[in-house]
Amino acid sequence: MSVFWGDKRYYSINYHLKSRYGQRVQNIPIDAGFTCPNRDGAIGVGGCIFCSQKGSGDLAESREMSITQQVNSRIERLSSRGINKYIVYFQAYTNTYAPVEVLRQKYYEAIADERVVGLAIGTRPDCIDAEKVRLFSEIAEKKDIWIELGLQSIFDQTAKFMNRGYKLDCFDRAVRLLHQNNIKTVVHLIFGLPHETKEMMIDSVRYISEKGISGVKFHLLHILKNTRLQELYSAGGFKLLEKDEYVEIVVNALENLAPDIVVHRLTAEAPREILVAPDWCLKKRGLLNSIERTLAERNTWQGRLLKSSARGYD
Ligand code: SF4
């Protein structure tokens, strides 16, 4: 296993953070009080069809609290478990959708505690511009920073179906701008979107793999309460992936992912109270074990199918 990443056959975020900081680093998901241009009418209304009432920030702290209170509240709970370093994750809604001075104030508030080693900022590519990238560069001189883009799929027909509100060229432009300024980019993909074949899902992986990004988050398509997706699902509009199918897709995705891209997530997470389906995704440990077992049984690893690529292993 020496060519792999610790005991894993993929480059996990835990392995990356432990190598960088010498100890465990925990995410603190927060809700910094933003909205989203795909909800308020600036770009669209209704939002992406899978997005929850809390702007996909259901595991974040409450927006009723200040950023400082949210960070302190989570640190208080985690430090008793021996964790001393943290990344504040701006998770809910679109976290670059405000004037740059508002962003600066919020980001600096989040990094004020010296135990916070970095920021992860979830956003949309159409809410990234040169002025905001200059702010990211300013923060990058003090702490680590990752910009997380919710692409989900490279296919414009899928983007239209899920009401994402931007096309692939918009994503490409934002990634180029971030890359030119040495800002680390993490891309989210969803596996199991209606009307997508397994080949299309792997095409998305191959595409982002060539973009010079630093990380990925793979998500299972799950159905959350009070979403447009729930209405379509209840009407019998499409079928969800079974666990075995998802495991197979993730393993194939890892084989097609460049080995220098950090894997931040292998599945989606949601609170039990708002999950409609599938039930099996609640057993996250079992799912991760199945993925790791399948990688071992196939004697495969991240990037194995990129042998011809300069970034793949021989
Ligand atoms: S861009 Fe993000 S916050 Fe906005 S609707 Fe889509 S998933 Fe939700």
Q: Can you give the C-alpha Rg of the chain in angstroms?
A: 19
Distances in Å between the Cα of 64 and the Cα atoms of 30, 67, 94, 171 are 11, 9, 17, 32
Ligand 1 centroid distance, CA of 36 (Å): 6
All residues at 6 or more sequence positions from 45 whose CB lies less than 8 Å from its CB, including other chains = 38, 39
What residue's CA is closest to ligand 1, atom 4? 36
Ligand 1 centroid distance, CA of 233 (Å): 19
Q: What is the Cα–Cα distance from 293 to 289, expressed in whole angstroms?
A: 6
pLDDT band at 310 (very low <50, low <70, confident <90, very high): very low
May I ask the CATH architecture of the domain 13-304?
Answer: Alpha-Beta Horseshoe (3.80)
pLDDT digits (tens, 9 = 90+) for 218-277: 999 999 999 999 999 999 989 999 999 999 999 999 999 999 999 999 998 888 999 999
Q: Which residues of 73-90 are buried (b: 16+ CB within 10 A; e: fewer)?
A: ebbeebeeeebebbbbbb
Q: What is the Cα–Cα distance from 9 to 311, expressed in whole angstroms?
A: 16
Ligand 1 centroid distance, CA of 277 (Å): 20
Ligand 1 centroid distance, CA of 179 (Å): 23
The CB density around residue 98, as the number of other CB atoms within 10 Å, is 18
What residue's CA is closest to ligand 1, atom 2? 93
Total H helices, total E strands in the chain: 10, 9
- For the chain, give the mean pLDDT: 95
The domains of the chain are located at: 13-304
All residues at 6 or more sequence positions from 253 whose CB lies less than 8 Å from its CB, including other chains = 189, 191, 201, 202, 205, 218
pLDDT digits (tens, 9 = 90+) for 73-126: 999 999 999 999 999 999 999 999 999 999 999 999 999 999 999 999 999 999
What residue's CA is closest to ligand 1, atom 3? 93
pLDDT band at 314 (very low <50, low <70, confident <90, very high): very low
pLDDT digits (tens, 9 = 90+) for 114-159: 999 999 999 999 999 999 999 999 999 999 999 999 999 999 999 9
Q: Determine contact, residues 125/150, Cβ cutoff 8 Å.
A: no
Q: Above 60 in pLDDT, residue 278?
A: yes
pLDDT digits (tens, 9 = 90+) for 55-75: 888 888 889 999 999 999 999
Pocket-forming residues, ligand 1, beta carbon under 6 Å: 36, 38-39, 47-48, 51, 55-56, 93-94, 124, 150
Specify the pLDDT at position 59. Answer: 84
What residue's CA is closest to ligand 1, atom 6? 48
The angle formed by the CA atoms of residues 56, 172 and 216, to the nearest 5 degrees, is 45
Which DSSP letter does residue 186 get? E
Specify the pLDDT at position 1. Answer: 47
Q: Determine contact, residues 19/12, Cβ cutoff 8 Å.
A: no
